[in-house]
Amino acid sequence: MTRILGVETSCDETAAAVVEDGRRILSNVVASQIDLHRQYGGVFPEMASRQHILSIMPVIQQAMAEAELDWDDLDAIAVTYGPGLPGSLLVGVNTAKGLAYGRGLPLVGINHIEGHIYANWLIVGDSPQEIVFPSLALVVSGGHTELILMTDHGQYRRLGHTLDDAAGEAFDKVGRLLGLGFPGGPAIERAAQEGNPFAFKLPRAWLKGTYDFSFSGLKTAVLRIVQKYEDKVSSSADSTKNRRIAVSQPPSVIRRLPVADLAASFQASVIDVLVEKTAMAAEEHQARLIMLAGGVAANRLLRQQMAERSTLPVLYPPPALCTDNAAMIAGAGYFRYRVGHRSGWDLDIVSNLKLAEG
């Protein structure tokens, strides 16, 4: 039995978890900073790292207590060393290094994107999912949109990625435009339930002949529609022309905006492209399985449409394991640890770390 403590601080969640043999979660603690960042309409990096410093040790202690383990019962510590916000990553990496050194445990540095993929291995309920290779992972989060062909443990080939905004970033920006607050993903999904996905004809960037994605045109199309409503509401030209995308809409605009229809149309546009490209890549590369990963994989419509579109089995973690957590880092850590992967005490953060290039 191999037990690994995972530590994750790449963005705005301070997380620690203990996982056995890469699949069985013994504890999984996430201290979310969402309430802290909401007032800024997005993650404020400096605040995030300061909050990580305050939360990291209590979170790790709680993860150890909930797992009912002693430090001697652990085999290794796995930690996210990239990609992510530098100040945030530093807190996790240095804490993990200090603990591993002090307790005489091996240290395993993990790529955050790899962690998201390995969330699919974590056992939830009674029947563990069996994962076969090659499998195709669609990693969609606030920072990433990548299609990754996985031919074995630790073997990745990137088939495509976003050329501009990540899918989650688009959800967050459009959420702000529609006055739905932060994070936009869950809020748009909720609002879209009451809306008509065909109400607005929004663009879909197919980027034919590639498995790449682009969401900035879609975001701009929503902005234009919002501005049209704004023009109707406001007689002052200044307030309409110079609006910055990051600013939430004033209540007078929001009252008139068909928020539910816009949310549903936007969501459908993002998901159509994600699903179609993933299904096509899976066919071309003869994948035996599709895995969804990352915060946007919590989206029910994405899960549903992916399962309907593909004849392959489609796996996805439960929502709490789609968004950032440390169980996925401990899980990925196990599969690296068991083949002898160890990081040195000079392990440093790599904020733009890649999993694999095309």
Instruction: Give the residues lining the site for ligand KG4 (CB under 6 A).
Output: 11, 141-143, 168, 171-172, 183-186, 189, 294-296, 298-299, 323-324
Question: Closest separation between CB of residue 247 and ligand KG4, Å?
Answer: 18
* Nearest-approach distance from CB 305 to ligand KG4, in angstroms: 13
Q: Tokens in use for 96? A: 């993990």
The single-letter DSSP state of residue 250 is P
Rounded Cα distance between 268 and 291, Å, is: 20
Query: Binding to Zn ion by residue 324, rule CB under 5 A?
Result: yes
Whichever of 171 and 211 has its CB closer to ligand KG4, that residue is 171
Question: Closest distance between ligand KG4 and the C-beta of residue 86, in Å?
Answer: 15
Q: Integer distance in angstroms from the first to the last C-alpha of the chain?
A: 36
What's the closest the beta carbon of residue 144 comes to ligand KG4, in angstroms?
Answer: 7
How many Å apart are CA 247 and CA 58, to the nearest integer?
35
As given in the structure block, the two tokens for residue 268 are 């459908």
> Token pair for residue 22?
């890469």
Return the number of the residue (20 or 324) whose C-beta is nearest Zn ion: 324
Token couple for 317: 């973690």
Of Zn ion, ligand KG4, none, which one sits near residue 109, judging by CB under 5 to 8 A according to partner kind? Answer: none
Closest CA to 244 of 173, 140, 143: 173
Supply the minimum distance, in Å, between the C-beta of residue 197 and ligand KG4: 14
298 in Cβ contact with 319 (< 8 Å): yes
Site size for Zn ion, by CB under 5 A?
2
Partner touching 171 among ligand KG4, Zn ion, none, CB below 5 to 8 Å by kind = ligand KG4
Residue 267 token pair: 């969501």
Q: How far is the CB of 277 from ligand KG4 (least distance, A)?
A: 17
- In the bound complex, what is the minimum distance in angstroms from residue 194's beta carbon to ligand KG4? 15
Measured from the CB atom, the residue of 169 and 324 that comes closer to Zn ion is 324
* CB burial of residue 226 (10 Å; 0-12, 13-18, 19+): buried
Q: Which is nearer to Zn ion, 12 or 261 (CB)?
A: 12
Alpha-carbon distance of 133 to 150, in angstroms, equals: 7
| Of the residues 51, 80, 141, 265, which one makes contact with Zn ion according to CB under 5 A | 141
The candidate with the shortest Cα–Cα distance to 282, out of 177, 150, 154, 143, is 150
Which residue, 271 or 312, is less far from ligand KG4 as judged by CB? 271
8 counts as binding Zn ion under rule CB under 5 A? no
Please say which residue, 99 or 297, places its beta carbon nearer to ligand KG4: 297
Order the strands of the 24-32 sheet from edge to edge: 24-32, 13-20, 3-8, 76-82, 107-111
Q: Rounded to whole angstroms, how far apart are CA atoms 319 and 138?
A: 15
> Residue 92 touches which of ligand KG4, Zn ion, none (CB < 5 to 8 A by kind)?
none
Binding site for Zn ion (CB under 5 A): 141, 324
